[in-house]
Structure 1
Amino acid sequence: MLIANERATRSAYPRELHSVMSIAKAQESRDWISSWNSLNPGSTPLYELDGLARSLGIGKLYVKDESVRSDLGSFKALGAPIALARLILRLWPDHNLDPKLLFNGGYRSLLEAFTVISATDGNHGKGLAAAAQTMGCRCVIVLHANVSEEREQAIAVYGAQIVRTKGNYDQSVEEAAHLAATNGWQVVSDTSYEGYENIPRDVMQGYSTIAAEIVEQTGAQPAQAGAFTHVFLQGGVGGMAAGLVSYLWEYQGERRPSFIVVEPAQADCLLQSAIQGRAAKATGSVDSVMAGLACGETSPLAWKFLQPSVDHFMTIEDGQAVEAMRILADGGDKDVPIVAGESGTAGLAALQVLRSNHRLSAQVGLDATSCVLIINTEGATAPQVYADLVGESAESVKKRQTAWAAR
């Protein structure tokens, strides 16, 4: 399903949004987290896929590959760690803590009795657990019934205490809030709710690093049209999309690209928000193979950024995401093979749907001259699931990627 957002504008970045998230704050976060040795140095790759662009009948197609951001395997390595760091700085204002030293475990004795907690579908919890382990505080992660054992173990290796709860992601969020209130722990969530916005804001601001790198990698200039006519962004609760939209909107102003947000058909909370004009809930079961996007409720804070900026909201089916995983893994003579997880291919899956329908393509302004950006938000964060869906292991795809690059 595809709908146009009648509330989207082509104005300059609003002052009221700038007071919440800004390029200046994004750059500060980027500087802090660059000292964390759990991240790979430098920017993640921005690949041009000539063969796929030709087959889709568009001018150019690029993919920003967040699968290699760190051993954590996803863009979530940028969000929870920054939010945790800023939370600690707020809680100990008189200690004059050095953020970079915090990311190197310099205050472990101060934090040994401090506990953070969060619900997760996998990647956010892994990022928080890894950061807590580095900084020296305790971490509790709440997992709902649909999170696989494989994803649980990937979090547990970072020393987090795992709590299982019934229901879906939204029920796990409620359980995390209950446990925090009962035990005096601090919730570090990527979704906002009434009275809880500072930490989700910091999470979203951390994601802006991706946009900052894109600007640098494409040589974009302030207040000018950039390299891309269309940018496809994953949905979920809306945090990642808001983080990138806020940066690119502030940087390019009225000449920003067209933004298209994509989510599973059964987890359509953002599309429903666009229909209703307010942060809303999904209408489906929420359960999806795209685990990182299987969210039932829109983050109200993220919606403040998405409502005036996203031009179209779109849903896709699980099978379309899986087919896109295989396409990126295959690569080709002109295209590098890429390991993309179930949620990482949402943008490509949506692009394929649109280019297979002339009416839908026209609705979003896609044609033979379009230059499109998609974000591969994760690699094989559940390796067995990846192998089962793609029919090839992630390690095998990586070997072919290395061989392709060496040609």
Structure 2
Amino acid sequence: MFLLNKHADYRTALDPVDADTLGSAGADAIERHLAQRVDHAATPLHGLPGLASEFGIGTLHVKDEGHRLGLGSFKALGGGYAVTRLVLEAAEAQLGRSLGDDAFLLPEVRALVASMTFACATDGNHGRSVAQGAQLVGAKAAIIVHGGVSEERIAAIARFGAQIVRVAGTYDDSIVEAARMAGENGWIVVSDTSWPGYERVPGLVMQGYTAIVREALKQLLSAPTHVFVQAGVGGIAAAVAAHLALVLGEDRPVFTVVDPARAACIFEAARAGRPIKVAHGEPTVMAMLECYEPSPIAWRVLSRVADAFMTVEDADAVAMMNRLARPTGGDPAIVGGESGVAGLAGLMRAMADPAIAGALGLDGSSRVLVINTEGATDPVQYEALVGLTPDAVRSVTPQARV
């Protein structure tokens, strides 16, 4: 399914709060935070000349978040960053002075943080980031997981010392339960989705994602003409689209939001013209995108700066996982997770349909950027879908499978 943005707010100015959070000042803030992280390095940007030729476009680049901060996902930039910001703000309020980004190393700050517990609901990756951030600053973490979260992803969260709370239902159900438990226990909720009266923290999470765009624009020789980014509740897509619009202005690329067909909450919001909750049906293999209700602040942004919305099938994602794992035409091998390749699957679907390609202005001169938002965050599932282990894919050279 495909829709051009027909919302009344399309191409209007962003809300001032969103512009401040997701613009250059916001990117500066996450950049300062990352400068304090000994485990930080810019993630690679891969050129895919073989796939670009197959699609009939000028260039194709993939920003590979499978290498981010040891967590294998772009989510490493969001929850953990929000935890550190909240800790510093609490410490500044208690100590009565301004603190730098490395202040959580100070004994007086560590003493304060030891009594704090950060909680969130997760499909896997966001919870891992919150748990890592809590461990980094010396706080506790309570991570609420629903029945669809795999044991491998739960174990990856638990290794950061987090308390794991299992609940029935879907991701959306776990959000409600996380808020309830936090209220009962005095925990601080770090959610990547918003609701009425709760916007600042998910705004900080989205602000963390602007680091991806800033890095990519530095790594590219020319700004992209087209960008495809996947959506769960919409945070990553909104952060990327907003930052591109704010820093590039009229030269911003055509931006397409990609949803799994089985959990297309952003697509359905675009069709309805407002955030709606979609029915829970058959689970999608793109588990990290299996969200049934958009984040209101993400929709507020996307209604203004997204140009189009589309869906992809599970088979499309699996096909792209396998194509990246078995490169041709001089492309590098890339470990792309089920959800990580959804944006690239969207490009594949668009180029297979002349009407969609024409509507987006995709042709032989197009410079396309996509984001591999995760690597093999569930290695067992990855091997089952690709037929190769992640390590086996990493050992592949372009020449080996041409």
Pairing partner for 1:151 from 150, 153, 175: 153
- Contact 1:270–1:279 (8 Å) recurs in 2: yes
Q: Which residue of 2 aligns with 1:124?
A: 126
- Contact 2:318–2:386 (8 Å) recurs in 1: yes
Q: Which residue of 2 aligns with 1:323?
A: 319
Structure 1 residue 19 displacement after superposition: 3.6
Q: Which residue of 2 aligns with 1:82?
A: 81
| 1:261-280 CA distance string (max 9 Å, x none) | 00111111101111122122
**Matched residues in 1 for 2:140 and 2:63: separation?**
33
Q: Which residue of 1 aligns with 2:66?
A: 67
Structure 1 residue 10 displacement after superposition: 4.6
Q: Which residue of 1 aligns with 2:342?
A: 346
Asked if 1:5 corresponds to 2:5, the answer is: yes
Moved over 3 A (4+): 8-17, 103-107
Pairing partner for 1:248 from 244, 247, 252: 244
Structure 1 residue 369 displacement after superposition: 1.7
Structure 1 residue 137 displacement after superposition: 0.5
| 1:88-132 CA distance string (max 9 Å, x none) | 223232434332242799833221111110000000000110111
| 1:179-216 CA distance string (max 9 Å, x none) | 00111111000000011001000000000000111121
Deviates more, 1:13-22 or 1:195-204: 13-22
Q: Which residue of 2 aligns with 1:222?
A: none
Structure 1 residue 177 displacement after superposition: 0.3
Structure 1 residue 370 displacement after superposition: 1.4
Q: 1:382 to 1:94 in 2, by over 3 A?
A: same
2:306 aligned counterpart, secondary structure:
coil
Structure 1 residue 371 displacement after superposition: 1.3
Compute the TM-score of the two structures, normalised by the length of structure 2.
Answer: 0.94
**Matched residues in 2 for 1:89 and 1:108: separation?**
10
Q: Which residue of 2 aligns with 1:393?
A: 389
| 1:63-97 CA distance string (max 9 Å, x none) | 11111122100111110111111112232324343
Q: Which residue of 2 aligns with 1:223?
A: none
Structure 1 residue 303 displacement after superposition: 1.1
Number of residue pairs matched?
Answer: 396
| 1:26-80 CA distance string (max 9 Å, x none) | 21221112212343x2x21111100111011111111111111221001111101
**Matched residues in 1 for 2:107 and 2:372: separation?**
30
Map 1:300-339 onto structure 2 (within 5 A). 300-339=296-335
Structure 1 residue 377 displacement after superposition: 0.5
CA RMSD of aligned residues (A): 1.9
Map 1:71-110 onto structure 2 (within 5 A). 71-92=70-91, 93-95=93-95, 96-102=98-104, 107-110=109-112
Could you tell me which runs of 5 or more consecutive residues in structure 1 were left unpaired when the two chains were aligned: 220-225
Structure 1 residue 15 displacement after superposition: 4.4
Map 1:93-242 onto structure 2 (within 5 A). 93-95=93-95, 96-102=98-104, 107-218=109-220, 227-242=223-238
Compute the TM-score of the two structures, normalised by the length of structure 1.
Answer: 0.93
| 1:116-152 CA distance string (max 9 Å, x none) | 1000000000011011111111100000011111111
**Matched residues in 2 for 1:104 and 1:392: separation?**
45
Could you tell me which runs of 5 or more consecutive residues in structure 2 were left unpaired when the two chains were aligned: none
- Contact 1:236–1:292 (8 Å) recurs in 2: yes
| 1:329-388 CA distance string (max 9 Å, x none) | 111241000001011100111111111121221122212221111100000010111011
Identical positions, percent = 44
**Matched residues in 2 for 1:105 and 1:115: separation?**
18
Q: Which residue of 1 aligns with 2:51?
A: 52
